[in-house]
Amino acid sequence: MFSLKYLYIMPSLDIIIVGGRTHLKSAIIGIIFLLLFFNIFSPIAMSANPEQRSKLITFNSFIDFEYDTSALNEPLEIDASVSIPITIKYWTNIPDMFKKIPFPLNNMILFGSMIGPMQTIHLEVLDPPEWANIYISSPDILTEIPLASDGPVEVETNLILSPRVEAPAESYRIDIRATWDSIKRLDGNSYQEAIEFTPSFIPTIQITPETPIRTVGPHEAIIFNIHIKNLGNKITRVTPKLIGVDDKWTPTINPPDYEIGPNQESTFTFSIITPYGFGWHNEYGRFEIEFLSEVYPYRLGAASHTASIYLVVNNYGFSTPGFEFTILIAALFVIGIIIKKRQIKYK
């Protein structure tokens, strides 16, 4: 218990030294040797196993992350990589008194080796989503071990983000964790932070009209069913628009728009009534419908897309009734008379 008691007063003694009371230097060095003596020969140390004995005097180490997330303020492009530089700061609370102990005894006391070791920091992304490639460019980093007054040491790495086409266009948070092991009297630990990003919206729809070519007569009503499937990665608002249609056809599209979830399908109906004169001549009607797809709810700067389809209405293919048929009958009648007269003449 004696060694543990003096462990907590050591930092305060170190402050006294920094403040200028250098006459305590020899006393502090003596305290260190005294601590080592009790750490090795005290009843607690004698009864403890080697690992427990080495932990009777320990110091802590810490980590913090610094990174610039400005590249994540906008949605990330699909199938494109974004690199986020990360600075890892590592520091300890090992007091400066260990600088007063001759080399390599100070390293033997702290780390159990004559030469001061390097600390290995392991970095990992926790539970990365299946729809993105996310990784640390250098997952294992080596760094020196500073004393408390040395301040943090800094090492660099990069977080790589690359969302794939199936990534949802919604905010997503990932955790980055750093872990490092204990080295004799220097305890290890772990630390993690969250980074948030959003994949870009993909305005992709599939348009499938039922029987896009129809044959009708004059003043006849006809309905086209148009199926829209959302192949994008977020709820998409789809708005149809007729391009250059003559009002004599009385066209109508219902409903005026749809909000369709990813991999969901909805159906628009395009209704027309043919003009009274349609069908009495060889003609057809062609209708262009443009579909605008955009993210829902609307977000300024989000991608949008337009696609068009064409629907065709034919008449039955006959011309003005009566005239051609009458001429044909008259011609056959005249031919019949001519043939009959010839037969009488040659009898």
pLDDT tens string, the chain, 347 residues long: the values are 333 333 333 433 333 333 444 444 555 556 555 555 545 444 544 454 555 554 568 899 999 999 999 999 999 999 999 999 999 999 999 998 888 888 888 888 899 888 889 999 999 999 899 999 999 999 999 999 999 999 999 999 999 999 998 999 999 999 999 999 999 999 999 999 999 999 999 999 999 999 999 988 888 899 999 999 999 999 999 999 999 877 788 899 999 999 999 999 999 999 999 888 776 666 788 999 999 999 998 887 788 999 999 999 988 755 444 444 555 566 665 666 666 555 555 55
CATH, residue 299: 2.60.40.10
pLDDT of residue 25: 56
Regarding beta strands 61-67 and 82-92, do their DSSP bridges make them parallel or antiparallel, or are they unpaired? antiparallel
Query: What SS3 state is found at 239?
Result: strand
pLDDT in tens, 229-249: 999 999 999 999 999 877 788
Q: What distance in Å separates the CA atoms of residue 47 and residue 290, rounded to the nearest whole number? A: 84
- Answer yes or no: do 40 and 129 share one domain: no
Q: Is residue 298 part of a domain?
A: yes
Q: Examine residue 43 and say whether the peptide bond preceding it is cis (omega within 30 degrees of 0).
A: no
Q: Is residue 232 part of a domain?
A: yes
Domain that holds residue 51: 1-57
Number of domains comprising the chain: 3
Query: What SS3 state is found at 327?
Result: helix
Predicted model pTM: 0.68
- Answer yes or no: do 249 and 305 share one domain: yes
Written as one string, the DSSP assignment of 254-312 is: ESS-EEE-TT-EEEEEEEEE--TTTTSSS-EEEEEEEEEEEESS--TT--EEEEEEEEE
- Answer yes or no: do 65 and 190 share one domain: yes
Neighbours of 339 (CB within 10 A): 9
Nearest residue to 308 (alpha-carbon basis) of 254, 225, 237, 240: 240
Which of 148, 164, 197 represents a domain boundary (last residue)? 197
- Answer yes or no: do 226 and 151 share one domain: no
Q: Is residue 188 part of a domain?
A: yes
Which of 164, 197, 230 represents a domain boundary (last residue)? 197
Which of 142, 174, 197 represents a domain boundary (last residue)? 197
Q: Is residue 17 part of a domain?
A: yes
